[in-house]
A and B are shown apart, each in its own frame.
Chain A
Amino acid sequence: MQELTQLKESPSQTAGPYVHIGCVPNFCDITGVYPEDLGAQMVNADTKGERITLRGTVFDGTGTAIKDAMIEIWQADAAGLYPGNDPRGAADPNFTGWGRKAGDYDTGEWVFHTIRPGAVPFPDGRMMAPHISLWIVARGINIGLNTRMYFPDTDNSADPLLTRIEHQNRVPTLIAEKEADGVYRFDIYLQGEKETVFLDV
């Protein structure tokens, strides 16, 4: 029989407690190497779309805020196009689509200033509700955790991913909480009763 020749993916390892050194060096006082931390700014004055603030905290299984997590987000522009390499066409050139923040050393809270994304199609052509993809790494997390944040003030009832989750009582863990106009909180619970839905994407 012929052999399949796919290589194995390099195995993941934890980002560890000092992930800041490599990914957000200015945040951890290693200055003068890079002009600024990558992913710190997602928008500029010309970015199209509604400005939003997204904040949250990651909690461990004891309910303790994690202070050494790093969060990355990836999202479409206001028209639902992904910056960079979307096969459907060019996105807003004034929007990066990607952001990266470490939790605050004292509180663990992270904050992104971005825009409300447009809807993006599922592979079968149905539209997914507007969402932001998140990736979470930290000491004690052996492989980065993927999840999605949806908005509490849009209609998520036909979203192709949310509707296929068997335990519908867990769907609310993927919906942000509206704190004020344009300000959303998305707390992430790694473990336990309020455990966030994580995805094997």
Chain B
Amino acid sequence: MTDQNGAFFHRDRNWHPPALAPAYKTSVVRSPQKALISMNTTLSEQTGPVFGHNMLGALDNDLILNYAAEGEMAIGQRIIVHGRVLDQNGRGVPGALLEFWQANAGGRYRHKKEGYLAPLDPNFGGCGRTVTDENGGYSLRTVKPGAYPWPNGGNDWRPAHIHFSVFGQGFAQRLITQMYFDGDPLIWKCPIVQSIPSRAAVEQLIAPLDMDNTVPMDARAYKFDIVLRGRRSTLFENRMEGT
């Protein structure tokens, strides 16, 4: 049993990507060169903002409809992405805010700094959000994003991916990551994916096709579970001397 207010487990920074991953060129000048200062979490990191279900609009987790004109829909392969947000102790994290963003079916982002020649879809914005239920469960509906080229190496293409931003119950759990799709051969060629040191850790970001939750004649499903840092039981720590 763990404590709702206990300190968070330390991050395994050999599992996460290092700051400097030279094949991902932008990381070269954006990576600290000095060691991080290690600390145990305090109240400043063990607390975090709380987001209620009442802030959500009815279409917030439906990217097929949430930017579409009346009676229109986004173009592309219709998919549902669902899963749970868990902590490292395997418990569902209720009330976790998930935000997601992605390119359209052709690999084009709706962003003024993006100039890829694939066209925008007038009915696709590319953002969505949801808050996990009492078991940590969530789902969203969207179109499968396309791969797109980016100026890194001479011919680098990102695999199809959906960005996820996650809030748990403490600011120390704050995480942004990317979801990749089962079977995409570009995954193993991507310098951003390869910033992750081990194959096992990369596999944690690949969502399997989930036929059991596919809606026949409508949308395929992919399952993507997200694991946030767990909390220690406070056991004998955090007890002020003399009390």
Interface SS of chain A:
loop
Cβ-based interface call for A5 (8 A): yes
On chain B, the residues within 8 Å of A34 by CB distance are 57, 60, 127, 129
By a beta-carbon cutoff of 8 Å, the part of chain B in contact with chain A is 4-5, 7-13, 15-19, 21, 24, 26-34, 36-45, 47-51, 55, 57, 60, 66-67, 86-90, 99-101, 109-114, 125-129, 163, 165, 169, 171-172, 174-178, 192-193, 195-196, 200-202, 204-205, 226-230, 237-238, 240-241
The residue from A21, A122, A165 contacting B37, defined by CB atoms under 8 A apart: A165
Interface size of A by CB at 8 A reads 82
Show 27 residue pairs from A and B whose CB-CB distance is below 8 angstroms, ordered by the A residue. A7-B86, A9-B12, A13-B195, A15-B163, A18-B114, A30-B67, A30-B110, A33-B66, A34-B129, A38-B99, A61-B31, A64-B29, A74-B44, A84-B48, A105-B113, A120-B44, A135-B171, A140-B24, A142-B24, A142-B27, A143-B19, A191-B32, A191-B33, A192-B33, A200-B10, A200-B13, A201-B41
A22 at the interface (CB under 8 A from B): yes
From known contacts A60-B29, A145-B32, A161-B39, infer whether A12 and B176 are also in contact, taking CB-CB under 8 Å: yes
| Contact across chains for B205 and A10 when beta carbons are under 8 A apart | yes
User: Which of B12, B18, B129 lies in contact with A142, CB distance below 8 A?
Assistant: B18
Residues of A within 8 A of B4 (CB): 87
Tally of A-B Cβ pairs under 8 angstroms? 268
Interface residues of A (CB under 8 A from B): 5-23, 25, 28-30, 32-35, 38, 60-62, 64, 66, 68, 72, 74, 76, 82-88, 96-98, 105, 120-125, 128, 131, 133, 135, 137-146, 148, 161, 165, 170, 190-192, 195-201
